[in-house]
Structure 1
Amino acid sequence: MAGAMRVADEAAASTRGGPECARSRRTLRTSPRPPATERRPTTIWLVPPIFMVAYGKRPSLDEGAGGCSFVIIRVVAAIAAAVVLGTGGTASAAGDQLEAASPFGAYLAAQHAAKSGDYSTASAYFRALIGSDQKAAVIADAIKAFVASGEVATAEKLSRELDQSGTRPWGLAIFLRFAGDVLRNDMASAEALLDPMATVGGLDGYLVPVLRAWISGSRGPPSAAFEQIDRIAERGVLISFFNYHAARILDHWGQREAAGQRYRAAIQEAAIPDRMALAALAHFSATGQTDDAIRARTSLAGRRPASGTVLALQEGAELRSLGGPVNLAVPPAAGVDRSDGDQGQAKGLDQRDVAVGVAETFFDGARMLFSQQFYRGALAYVQIALYLEPDFLAARLLVAQVQEQLGANDSALASYRRVPSDAPESWDAGLALAGLLGRLSRVEEARSELQLLGERFPGRVGALSALGQLMATEKRYDQAIAAYSEALDRLDWLEPHHWPLLYGRGAAFERSGLWERAEEDLQRALELSPDQPFILNYLAYSWIEQGRRLEEAKAMAALAARLRPDNGFIIDSLGWAHYRLGDYELAVETLERAMAAQPGDPVITSHYGDALWRTGRKLEARMQWRNALRADPDPELAAEIEWKLEHGFDELPPVVEEHEI
């Protein structure tokens, strides 16, 4: 029926995210991804003071002559920028137009480019403006554009010229000066810069105490800074963040017992980054704390089993984490301190240690902003992190992710490609690169990237799984089946987290008309993950459409609906089961819930009309069928609805008994 065809088509179309955001009742997604905003016991809305102050009062373009104010400029920027940039500016176009543009036009073009996420073009215009007599007027906006484009050294140099331009330094400018002082090993100047920020709120209020701890930690274990951190942590927020950084500083000073206590507290939270778990694992392994090391290993491998870091460790690679070397293949020996000679002694923090710790702090701030969708703020923080530590690959990945969210796709692609191919993070970067290419409809490029990634890592299945998703999305089901089959052939045994491979192949079989093979794969997937709502729903809806095993299918759809109570497609499957079993009143009630959860879907609307007709509400049924026609159904469903509008379907009896086909 058209409903079954629609389900699988939507399944393929929805595979580029993860089960959490699946749109169809059957989805071919094979690897869940975390939602953009992770759930926390306490939500903190961290609007950074940087971006509150940064967009405050600005001087005029020509203060001496009382020229046009920046308030007016901002009002007309959206209109006038089009005159300079046309329908879409690029960095090369900016270069061609710089000489011809007036300062006013160049500024408008720069602002337009920045708001569009094209920071390289914005930087090109601002570079010309700061070389002109308009420097004082544009310096603050230029700093922001340079930071966003990754030209942090230029932004840091400009931040030291703010005073003479008449612009009061704000949060971003202060952090730039701070980072520059750290790189120059001027810790006293860096610490002094934090004094005016001691009472700031928002995210900076959480970052500044940790930044101060790293700076003062260069002189010895910063007990006073730790006391301030602990007072903030007593609020019950960001506990892993505070304890992780304290543990790292204590580790540097050889205070292993105190560091271990901090690491234990840090890894209690589930949603910690890989690097935090790695550092804890390195500490516990080096000090022979077997039970803690096992817990850290379990936490690391269990949270993101398909990440490049975890897969590299499981394959026997030794990684150099920020806390020391880590190798999952070598279990820690109880009570044996395997650390290097001066480890465990008070060696302290040198300039490099402080720079890395400060980079991590800004990176964590960027992660927090990214999780709450403050993408421009996240980009500023993570670019500062990379300025301090250019080899910080997790930060490079985050830059690419932020650029994606801002629509700067070319920049994001370039950032993913900058991750070295011999780094564990290259696996994550390769998958993300292919995913972005697929979303940009550059399918053959995405396919090529995934094939190369699969060849580089012959023991892994993630690239082949993603290739299967991509081919299914393109309705190239034979190639999808081939990719999933190759992935399954690489596995010696199946574990619960492998269910998406069978699920994806089963859906591709179903769409290819090979139902018996599809059913076998779907049932095997369900054995691996009995409570996976998308498997339950796909298999249940298939049986319902075929008129088979209706009571069992209804129970499966009901379980799926309990697991995903807000998914309109799953609720529709349950309503359709009630309908096929002849319980029309309950079908109407259930399908109304599906309509509310997923308004405008033609299949759900058509189903709802069918149930209304069976309860005698024929005028309402016809209205819903017309609504379904207006919702752009596929041709088969459209023909079915048109037939029902003309004839009704009293002559089409419901299926109330199960039969085999």
Structure 2
Amino acid sequence: MRYLRSLPLSGLLALALAAPAGAAPSSLGSLYIHARAAEAAGDVREANAGFSALMAQDPANAEIVTHAYRQALSAGDMTLAIRAAHLLDGQPAMPSDARVLLVLEQVKARDWAKAHDATEKLAQDRVFGFLAPYCRAWIAVGSGSGDPIALVEGARGMPLASPYYPQQRALLLIALGRSQEAAGSLGPQAAAQLPASVKGPEHGLSPLLVEVAADFARQQYIPVGMIMARMATYAAPDNDPGWLVLAELLHRMQRSDLALIALNHIAPGGELGANARILRIALLNDDGQHEAALADALAAVKPASAGSDDWGRVGDLQLILSHPAEAAAAYAKALALAEAAHAPPDVLWPILLQQGGALDLAGDWPAAKAALERAYAMAPDQPTVLNQVGYSEIEHRENVDRASAMIAKASNLRPDDPAITDSLGWVLYLQGKAGEAVPLLERAAAGEPGEAAINEHLGDAYWTIGRAYEARYAWRAALLTAEDKDKARLTAKIDTGLDKATAAP
């Protein structure tokens, strides 16, 4: 099976359970069903409204209030989240992160006495207590009472807190008007990232929460990281890094809808504008909005500063939209820019593979073959290259012996790759060895059960060895995910069986 790179994709699971618009459930049970159904359907506004009504009717129900708190945080309804946090305050069910939110609420309100009390409660928490020394220091900055630098020293001896100490101490120094001292306390690279000023305590705590969010994400605690990033943006809504981290984590949680909303907070012309645009393109594509994603990608290549990666994204989206000629042209521009920048071979050969695949789909096999051969010359031991070049030649029934050897080598280098295993099986099938091909194609289908090409190959092999029932089952599986251009061929095979006209290409 050929290699064609695509944008990062993830699926948003949408459930059908939802109450009619405008319905007004009166009982607690029906309110709960309505809120959960809206939550499952991704209707953030309706879900938040439902949980708000539930809390009003039964504020002592810790299970409902906790669920409302989590839903509100994920959706960014911080008013509802704070209401829920206050209802949970003092209860065993109170989430640890709610302690952080209550501190931030008082810091933003400039109520330093309440902020101090909330911080002392946070200090007792086993999960997020390590944030307390930083909160104390920033409260001292805001209130003008106490020595922030002395207070932040409490973080140095705490294993969980100490990694954040250098940045936090530097930001505190800046807030106190000691910018030169702040820069001198860090290495040149870190010092260059420091802001010119810190507007207030919440703008000092927000970068801390962004770093904490990133650390949780690196440890694969994605939901916890998302909550910390959400709190960072609550503390300082103009903190672009916070919104970018939040969007990335929501994307990883398969909440592209909420991630797109988060990206809207990042200024297009700001330092992170390009990063936000790249993620936005992936999110739109992920959400099935391929035309919108392509429009954004095309807008990104209009400036003269557009790079190879920008044109590569255009090519990827043109392929997804079945525009192979346009994709090939985009890859040609990506390749030219990469070569002009003296990019190494491991950057060039993936572009050449994409260009070759697009040219082949566009009907220009000679140009496709030239691009693929260039990729092979650059990376003769790369399994992906061996498989793509070999499979393409097999499709065109050229150099079958050399192509077979390439695919066999690719399989030896990467035996568990379903695409390569499919190619190996398909070569055997085309050589008249359908019986030997079937186990390989079965293994490939088990590894990639949703891949149409693999299932079609398996169906053709099954039919050839007389297993008609299993062949139709495989073709039906292929039909589920097949491209439009392949559906008529698959349908004909399912109806009447395999013949020369309906054989897989």
Q: So what's the TM-score if we normalise by structure 2?
A: 0.74
By how many angstroms is 1:153 displaced?
4.8
Describe the shift of the 1:556–1:475 C-alpha distance in structure 2 as closer, same or farther (beyond 3 A). Answer: same
Alignment of 1:43-54 (within 5 A): none
Aligned position for 2:276: 429
Aligned position for 1:28: 4
By how many angstroms is 1:571 displaced?
0.6
Describe the shift of the 1:478–1:141 C-alpha distance in structure 2 as closer, same or farther (beyond 3 A). Answer: same
1:159 maps to amino acid: A
Among 508, 512, 515, the alignment partner of 2:358 is 508
Q: Deviations over 1:335-383 (max 9, x none)?
A: xxxx99xx9xxxx9983575135423542365257x45x54x4443321
By how many angstroms is 1:607 displaced?
4.9
By how many angstroms is 1:510 displaced?
0.2
CA distance in 2, matches of 1:383, 1:557: 48
Number of equivalent positions = 463
State, as a whole percentage, how many aligned pairs show the same letter.
25
Q: Partner of 2:150: helix, strand, or coil?
A: coil
Q: Partner of 1:193: helix, strand, or coil?
A: helix
Describe the shift of the 1:353–1:128 C-alpha distance in structure 2 as closer, same or farther (beyond 3 A). Answer: closer
Q: Deviations over 1:198-243 (max 9, x none)?
A: 3xxxxx3xx533x1453466443866644441xx7xxxxxxxxx76
Among 285, 288, 292, the alignment partner of 1:445 is 292
Among 93, 105, 111, the alignment partner of 1:180 is 105
Q: Partner of 1:455: helix, strand, or coil?
A: coil
Describe the shift of the 1:106–1:468 C-alpha distance in structure 2 as closer, same or farther (beyond 3 A). Answer: same
1:514 maps to amino acid: D
Aligned position for 1:197: 125
What's the Cα RMSD here? 4.4
Describe the shift of the 1:405–1:102 C-alpha distance in structure 2 as closer, same or farther (beyond 3 A). Answer: farther
2:415 maps to amino acid: P
Aligned position for 2:150: 220
Contact 1:30-1:500 within 8 A present in 2 as well: no
Describe the shift of the 1:499–1:378 C-alpha distance in structure 2 as closer, same or farther (beyond 3 A). Answer: same
1:194 maps to amino acid: L
Which structure 1 residue ranges, 5 or more long, are not aligned?
1-24, 37-77, 87-92, 199-203, 233-241, 255-278, 287-322, 327-338, 653-661
CA distance in 1, matches of 2:350, 2:162: 36
Q: Deviations over 1:7-56 (max 9, x none)?
A: xxxxxxxxxxxxxxxxxx3232167x6999xxxxxxxxxxxxxxxxxxxx
Contact 1:220-1:253 within 8 A present in 2 as well: no
Describe the shift of the 1:358–1:179 C-alpha distance in structure 2 as closer, same or farther (beyond 3 A). Answer: farther
CA distance in 1, matches of 2:396, 2:453: 16
Structure with greater helix share of residues:
2
CA distance in 2, matches of 1:583, 1:133: 70
Contact 1:578-1:584 within 8 A present in 2 as well: yes
2:310 maps to amino acid: A
CA distance in 2, matches of 1:578, 1:463: 39
Aligned position for 2:232: 385
Among 26, 35, 38, the alignment partner of 1:102 is 26
Aligned position for 1:264: none
Contact 2:35-2:51 within 8 A present in 1 as well: yes
By how many angstroms is 1:520 displaced?
1.4
Q: Which deviates more from structure 2 when the two are superposed, residues 135-144 or residues 473-482?
A: 135-144
Describe the shift of the 1:571–1:188 C-alpha distance in structure 2 as closer, same or farther (beyond 3 A). Answer: same
Describe the shift of the 1:636–1:535 C-alpha distance in structure 2 as closer, same or farther (beyond 3 A). Answer: farther
- Are 1:547 and 2:397 an aligned pair? yes
Describe the shift of the 1:447–1:608 C-alpha distance in structure 2 as closer, same or farther (beyond 3 A). Answer: closer
Among 326, 337, 358, the alignment partner of 1:479 is 326
Contact 2:248-2:259 within 8 A present in 1 as well: yes
Q: Partner of 1:418: helix, strand, or coil?
A: coil
Aligned position for 1:285: 188
Q: Which deviates more from structure 2 when the two are superposed, residues 118-127 or residues 399-408?
A: 399-408
Among 536, 543, 547, the alignment partner of 2:386 is 536
Q: Partner of 1:245: helix, strand, or coil?
A: helix
Contact 1:30-1:504 within 8 A present in 2 as well: no
CA distance in 1, matches of 2:494, 2:76: 55
Aligned position for 1:267: none
Alignment of 1:285-324 (within 5 A): 285=188, 323-324=190-191
- Are 1:522 and 2:333 an aligned pair? no
By how many angstroms is 1:127 displaced?
4.4
- Are 1:470 and 2:317 an aligned pair? yes
Q: Partner of 1:324: helix, strand, or coil?
A: helix
Alignment of 1:252-291 (within 5 A): 283-285=186-188
1:427 maps to amino acid: A
By how many angstroms is 1:573 displaced?
1.1
Describe the shift of the 1:162–1:544 C-alpha distance in structure 2 as closer, same or farther (beyond 3 A). Answer: closer
CA distance in 2, matches of 1:423, 1:245: 25
Among 155, 164, 170, the alignment partner of 1:245 is 164
- Are 1:150 and 2:76 an aligned pair? yes
CA distance in 2, matches of 1:133, 1:601: 49
By how many angstroms is 1:516 displaced?
1.0
1:518 maps to amino acid: A
Describe the shift of the 1:597–1:142 C-alpha distance in structure 2 as closer, same or farther (beyond 3 A). Answer: closer
By how many angstroms is 1:511 displaced?
0.7
Contact 2:327-2:358 within 8 A present in 1 as well: yes
CA distance in 2, matches of 1:194, 1:139: 20
CA distance in 2, matches of 1:34, 1:609: 27
Aligned position for 1:123: 48
By how many angstroms is 1:487 displaced?
3.0
Contact 1:459-1:490 within 8 A present in 2 as well: no
CA distance in 2, matches of 1:177, 1:600: 46
Q: Deviations over 1:138-171 (max 9, x none)?
A: 654443343333232553355335459x886442
- Are 1:208 and 2:111 an aligned pair? no
Contact 2:359-2:367 within 8 A present in 1 as well: yes
CA distance in 2, matches of 1:405, 1:251: 32
Alignment of 1:347-362 (within 5 A): 351=201, 354-362=204-212
